[in-house]
Amino acid sequence: VCLPMPKCFRLGENPIIMEQQKTFDKLSLFTKHDGSLISTFVDANGNLGVKSKTSLKSPHAKLAKQYISDALVELVERYNNIPGYLDLWDLKNHSISFELPSEDPDPRIVLKYEETKLQPLNVRSMGDGKVRSFNQLRWCVPTVDSLIKHCETETGVEGYIVHDSHNDVYFKIKTGWYDTLHSSKFNFSEENVVRMILEESVDDYISIHSDDIGMKKKINKIVERTVPVYNHLMQKVETFY
């Protein structure tokens, strides 16, 4: 049996969370890595297995199986003496969820990481369904508005998994920087590249295609056409004023 964490909706996606949002209090932020969700299970023969969100045999699940032993050893070393986590290594009665960020272009979603590694998210009891987080607390914010404002300017991360202790609910929020990169990667257009040139984020966009020579050439051609025109217009504006 595998019991992953409950679905973590984006802020504004779930009507129930939108209603609870009125009573949110002291939100705890945990870094969200840009990787596929991986969860553990123990099969009928007592063997440890892993699955991706939808499959036992997906490329992501097969890749995660190569890293699960090291990830579990690291978790035991980090949490074995912490009260509240001592019973979690009974994997027949708990499912551990990870994210799988990667430096490899095949399993990668958008962001390139220095190494492929299972990053622990949380563990869920099959008895009472309770979820306990492994992720490292980044900081707390007092209101949803301050959280949204922060994510409008934050760069370098996909976003955050957020816990509201008052309602005991989790949701996620992504940075504007990541949303732009994600949209541009999967919806390539000259207009998107030009917009990123104007927003000075095109270097980040080029970096996520560092393994795709053809895509880098397409982007660089647009940059080469656009930057001189932009610089010329800016020079005219500055001269006028």
pLDDT tens track for 66-113: 999 999 999 888 887 777 676 667 888 999 999 999 988 888 888 888
Do strands 36-42 and 94-100 pair parallel, antiparallel, or not at all (unpaired)? antiparallel
Residue 129: CB atoms within 10 A of its CB come to: 10
Is residue 192 within 8 Å of residue 204, measured between CB atoms? no
Q: What letter would DSSP give residue 53? A: S
Phi, psi of 191 (to 5 degrees): -60, -40
- Distance from C-alpha of 65 to C-alpha of 60, rounded to nearest angstrom: 9
Instruction: Give the per-residue pLDDT at 136.
Output: 59
Q: What letter would DSSP give residue 158? A: -
Instruction: Give the per-residue pLDDT at 23.
Output: 81
Q: How confident is the model at residue 64 (pLDDT cuts 50, 70, 90)?
A: very high
pLDDT digits (tens, 9 = 90+) for 136-193: 556 677 678 888 898 999 998 999 988 887 888 889 999 999 998 888 888 888 998 9
Residue 58 DSSP SS3:
coil
Residue 139: CB atoms within 10 A of its CB come to: 10
Instruction: Give the per-residue pLDDT at 88.
Output: 67
17-51 b/e with 16+ CB inside 10 Å = b? beebbeebeebbbbebbbbbbbbbbbeeeeeebbb
Instruction: Give the per-residue pLDDT at 209.
Output: 80
**Of the candidates 42, 66, 64, 44, the residue with the CA atom closest to the CA atom of residue 53:** 64
Mean pLDDT for 199-217 is 84
pTM of the model: 0.75
